[in-house]
Amino acid sequence: MKKEQFPKDTDPLTLRSNCDYYPVYLDIIDLKMNAEASTQETSVPADPYMDQNQEQKIVDAEELLEIAIQHDCSALQTLVLLLKNAFEGHCYLVFEITAGALIRQGTFLFDPAEDRPCELSLHFIDHLEDYSTGLHGIWKKLQTITPQLEEICFESLLLFLLSTRLFKLPISALKPFEITKFRKLPDQEKRYYRHLFRVSVLMDQAMMEQAMIDRIDQLYEERFQEYLIRVSSRDNLVMQLKTKLLYANDPMIRTVEELEQRYFSFLVEKELIRDSGKVVVKQLPWEDDTDAEGTVTELTRSIRHLFRVLSKNCKEAFTASADTSPGFDATRFFMDANAIFNETNTSLTGQLLQYHRLAALFIQVYNTRKLHALPAIFPDHTVLESDHLRGQLNEETVRKLRLAVTGKISAQKEKNRTSFRWKHLSDDELAEIHKTYLKKQIEYLDQRVKDILTEINTVMREKTKGSVIN
- pLDDT tens-digit readout, 33-73: 887 765 555 444 444 444 445 555 678 888 899 999 999 89
262-276 pLDDT, tens per residue?
A: 888 887 877 766 655
Q: Residues of 170-189 as b/e, b for ≥16 C-beta within 10 angstroms?
A: bbebbeebebeebeebeeee
- Same structural domain, 299 and 231: no
- Same structural domain, 94 and 229: no
Domain count along the chain: 3
- Same structural domain, 440 and 343: no
Q: List C-alpha distances in Å: 61 to 67, 86, 139.
A: 10, 9, 11
pTM for the model: 0.77
Q: What is the pLDDT of residue 391?
A: 77
Position 162 in a domain: yes
Position 31 in a domain: yes
- Same structural domain, 37 and 177: yes
Identify the domain containing residue 246 by its residue range: 224-278+427-463
Asked which of 131, 154, 185 is the last residue of a domain, the reply is 185
Beta strands at 108-111 and 13-14: parallel, antiparallel or unpaired: antiparallel
Q: What is the pLDDT of residue 297?
A: 81
Position 274 in a domain: yes
- Same structural domain, 130 and 234: no
Instruction: Compute how many other C-beta atoms are within 10 angstroms of the C-beta atom of residue 35.
Output: 13
Mean pLDDT of the chain: 82
- Same structural domain, 75 and 140: yes
- Same structural domain, 273 and 318: no
Q: What is the pLDDT of residue 460?
A: 87
Phi, psi dihedral angles at 368 (to 5 degrees): -65, -45
Position 41 in a domain: yes
